[in-house]
Structure formats: structure tokens, C-alpha cells
Amino acid sequence: MQANEKLVNLLKRARKLTNPSPEERKEVENTVSIVIRTLEKIIESYKLNVTVEIEGSIAKDTWLPGNKDIDIFLLFNRDRPIEELRYWGLRIGYEVVRELNCDCEERYAEHPYLRILYKGYDIDLVPSYYVESSEEIVTAVDRTRLHTRYVLSRVSEELKDDIRLLKKFMKVIGTYGAELKVGGFSGYLCELLVIHYGSFVNVLRAASEWRPWRVIIDLEGYYSERDYEKLRKAFKSPLIVIDPVDKTRNVAAAVTLQKFNEFIVASRMFLRNPSIDFFIEEEVTPLSYNELEKELKARGTSIIALKFELERSAPDILWGQLNRTLKNILNLLKQYKFEVINWGAWSNDRDLAILLFELSSIKLPNIELHHGPPVGSSREIDFLEKYIDGEAVAGPFIIENRWYVIRRRKYAHVVDLILERAHLAGLAKKFLRAFKEGRVKIYVNEDVIKASENEDYLKYLREWLFKRYHWLNL
């Protein structure tokens, strides 16, 4: 069989995995219909001039099987003050919750909105302004309607299928999602890439040649090549995709360098050796205590886990603070000469965060060699005065052209360092408060398993420990 024919047959199989069944489509349509009818009844009862529209992948018919997220927008006239939009958005949402007798979560973007949990679906009820162009945008979510209209104006049924292939591919390799937790490609970005390159395979072929800070995609031709250097300085992203409905926005702003490179490599691997595995998510087994114990013994390393019990917050707020805290504690460990081999973080996206660090050792020698200034430098006397009175275990002494001492290490054990210095390391607000209020626990080695009984955490532990891309094939 020719290579091209093999690829065509593979993609036919993949489309069966990425296209919702008629039964699932009917279920989504019925659910959406019930919620919209309820919304419109409530809006009419208050005599409000509000339009209800479906947005996102459901509206564009680019959603994947198993998708449980539905976006419903409440579109207000632009003459409404923002305070009224926020008030009525929540009030209408809570009325829906009462009518449908379901649960809900209050969430925050640029302004608060309600997520209702109905029949297994997460349905976001988002207040927004009704706009026809980017010039009319008042809040960030206003352009969502424009995104929906743009994609629908540019896609055929075949392109919708290819968009689903790309989304599934991205999801399987771990690069799908613009939220801070992932730092990857949004659904809208996937749609634009397929529209621009013309097919799923063409996106992968192009991506296999991408280089960081070299790719600029401008579907509507807002800019000429003369402007590209200015765009790179303005957006400072490894990938720049100009929003067709708002030329001042980079749709790919959330894509981190890591996810950018992971997508490039996965694209190359698929084109080199196409496999259905790129469209089937890996089943990850939770890591067990005995497995972790055995692995640590084989590696000769140690692990610490910092468990923070936090006030409940929206996922992006939590992950923004989590990423900052992880980075700063990592810097603290390195500052005090602990060799960090591996690091990462897990969260339940609400009120729990666990930071993980694998170290060559959690205990360093009690003493360390500390170098001082060059002989004869302006700092020589200060150095000698500090250590000549007995603070040093040995020295001061000269090696070639520099002063040295052997001194006692201030923090020989990593747990002591964290307990005494972490609050000065630049923890994010919620994490610092948890630290000061004693809502932090430290687990060492095999006991990091006990930091949470959440199965997703135990699966993450396995992925974090072994760091293997299941799709990597040569």
C-alpha cells in the first residue's frame, strides 16, 4: 500500500473517533434547547432586551465527542452600563439554576459569570455585549461572538472534520488548551490553523518546519512583512497568529515555548510514522506506594511535596499563582545549593495545590566551601573580618588568587530551608497566606503519595516521574 493511501485510510479511522455520534448530537441539542428556552422565558419575564446565543465549538460544530462544555452568551445592548450587565448576568443565571433545579459555580473572567452543572454538562452563562465589529468591543468576551461568525463563514464540512482531527491530536499529545494550567493551543487557534493551511495534514506539515519567534500567521492580511519585526517585539510569543476579527490581538499568546515545541515534534513524528495512537488518549494508571519506593531506590534521589490548602478560586487565578510560587521555590532551592532534577505541580483547579521537587539529595553536608574575594581586592578586609573571628570551620585561606573559607551550611536539610525561608521566596498571595496560617504540609519520598487520594493526582505522579511521551516513535 502506498504511503499516501495508508495515511488516507488512517485519517478515515481517526474521523470516526473524532466525530460525535448522531445520538450524542441529539443529546447536546436537547440540553441546549432546554437551557435556552428557560433563559428566554426568564429574560422575557423581566422585559429585558437580551439576545441568547450559543458560542464556541458547539455553535461552530467543531466539538469533540465527550465534550461536556457548552457556552451560552447573554448579549446585552452596548448602551447598558457594565454594572447592569454584571448584575443581570448573574441574576438571570441564578434564576435558571432554580428553574432547572441544578447546581452552579460562580466564576470570574473580566466580570463574574455562572457555570451551571446540568445533566452532566458544564454550561457557562456569560454576559456580554452584542457587537458587530472589533471597534465595538467593550469587554474581552465580546469578541467571542465575532470568532463564531468568522469561523462559520470560512469552514466547510470537510474542514470541520479536519479541525476535530487537529483538536484531538492536540489533546492526545497534551498541547490542547489555552488555560494557564496547560499553556497550549485554544480551540479557536486550532480552527484558524486549519482554515489557514487548508487541512489537518497541512497544518502538521507546516508545523514540522516551524521555528520559535519566526512564525507569523495573518489570515486577513492586516500587516505586511515590513511590520513583522514590530509584531515580534510587541507580542514576544514563539507563535503569532493575528486574530482575524481584532488585529491588535495574538490568538496564540497563551502558547508556551514548551507546548510550541511539543507540537512541532509530535507533528514530525506523525508524518514520519502515522499512527492511530495519536488520536487515542493514553490510559494512565495511578502510581502506587510500592512503585514509587522501588523507583526512588533505583534512582537514588529524593522527592518532596508541598501541599497547599487554599481558598477556593477560579482555575486560571489559581494556576497563575501556582506557577509563580513553583518558580520561586525552585529558585530558593537552587540558591541554597540543592540540586533539583525534576519539578512540577498538580492542582484540583479549586482549592488544593501540590508542588513536587525531585532532588539528588534532601540532605547536604553540614559544611560547604565558600569562595571570597580576590587577594588584594577592596572586599578583602571585610571578608577577613567576617570569618577570622571563628565563624569559619576552616580558614580563611588562599587558593591561587582568591580567599576561601569552609563554613557551616545554614540549611543542610531541604525541609528546614522551606519551613524557615519559603515565606521570603516570593510566594504568590494565596500561597503565602496558606503558609503563614499553617495550611501547608510537607511530604518526603514515598509519602508524597499521601499528599492526596485524588486519582488524578496519582496519575499525574506517574506522568511527572517518568516523563514519557507515549506518542514518541522513531
Query: For 60-77, how does the pLDDT look when each residue is reduced to its tens digit (9 = 90+)?
Result: 999 999 999 999 999 999
- For 454, counting Cβ atoms within 10 Å of its Cβ (0-12 exposed, 13-18 middle, 19+ buried), the class is middle
pLDDT (tens digit per residue) in 141-186: 999 999 999 999 999 999 999 999 999 999 999 999 999 999 999 9
Q: Give dist(CA 471, CA 474) in Å, integer.
A: 10
Domains of the chain: 20-147 (3.30.460.10), 155-279 (1.10.1410.30), 289-363+412-466 (3.30.70.590), 367-408 (no CATH)
User: Is the separation of the CB atoms in 468 and 174 below 8 Å?
Assistant: no
CA–CA dist 275, 37 (Å, integer): 44
The strands making up 50-55's β-sheet, listed across from edge to edge, are 50-55, 69-76, 121-129, 112-118, 103-108
Question: From CA 249, how far away is CA 391, in angstroms rounded?
Answer: 57
Res 377: pLDDT: 86
Distances (CA, A) of 409 to 175, 310, 369, 425, 463: 42, 33, 9, 19, 34
- 396 pLDDT above the threshold of 50: yes
Q: Which three cell numbers stand for residue 31?
A: 440540553
Measure the CA–CA gap between 450 and 293, rounded to whole angstroms.
13
Give phi and psi for 257, each to the nearest 5: -60, -35
- Section 313-328 average pLDDT: 91
Say if residue 474's pLDDT is above 80. Answer: no
Least confident of 157-161, 390-394, 463-467: 390-394
Asked if pLDDT for residue 296 goes beyond 80, the answer is yes
Short-list 336, 408, 404, CA closest to 373: 404
- pLDDT, the chain, mean: 92
Closest by Cα among 345, 350, 344 to 318: 350
Residue type, 305: A
Beta strand ranges found along 77-150 (DSSP E): 103-108, 112-118, 121-129
Q: Is the pLDDT of residue 378 over 90?
A: no
Task: Evaluate if residue 220 carries a pLDDT over 50.
Answer: yes
**Which of 111, 96, 98, 25 lies closest to 64 in space, CA to CA?**
25
CB 421 within 8 A of CB 411: yes
Measure the CA–CA gap between 471 and 364, rounded to whole angstroms. 38
Choose among 299, 352, 275: nearest CA to 321: 352
Burial class (CB in 10 A: 0-12, 13-18, 19+), 283: exposed
CA pair distance 148, 157, nearest whole angstrom: 15
* Contact criterion met (CB below 8 Å) for 56 and 319: no
β-pairing, 215-217 vs 239-243, is parallel
Percent residues over pLDDT 70 in the chain: 99
Question: Residue 6, class by beta-carbon neighbours within 10 Å (0-12 exposed, 13-18 middle, 19+ buried)?
Answer: exposed
- Tell me how far apart the alpha carbons of residues 255 and 170 are, in angstroms, rounded to a whole number: 12
What is the number of alpha carbons within 13 Å of residue 406 lying toward its C-beta? 7
What is the rounded distance in angstroms from the CA atom of residue 22 to the CA atom of residue 32?
Answer: 15
State what percent of residues in the chain have pLDDT above 90.
78
**Neighbour order of strands in the sheet with 352-359:** 340-347, 352-359, 302-309, 440-444
Q: 373: Cβ–Cβ under 8 A, 6 or more apart, which residues?
A: 379, 380, 383, 402, 403
Q: How far apart are CA 428 and CA 10, in angstroms?
A: 47
In three-state secondary structure terms, 29 is helix
Counted residue by residue, the chain has a size of 474
Q: Which of 198-202, 366-370, 431-435 has the lowest mean pLDDT?
A: 366-370
pLDDT at 311 over 60: yes
Inter-residue contact 98 to 124 (CB < 8 Å): no
* CB count in 10 Å sphere of residue 202: 14
The pLDDT of residue 3: 60
Q: Say whether pLDDT at 1 is over 70.
A: no
Most confident of 102-111, 340-349, 392-401: 340-349
Between CA 167 and CA 165 the distance in angstroms is: 6
Residue 195 has pLDDT above 70, yes or no: yes
Q: Are 186 and 62 in contact (CB under 8 A)?
A: no
Distance CA 431, CA 418 (A): 13
| 211 CB neighbour count, 10 Å cutoff | 10
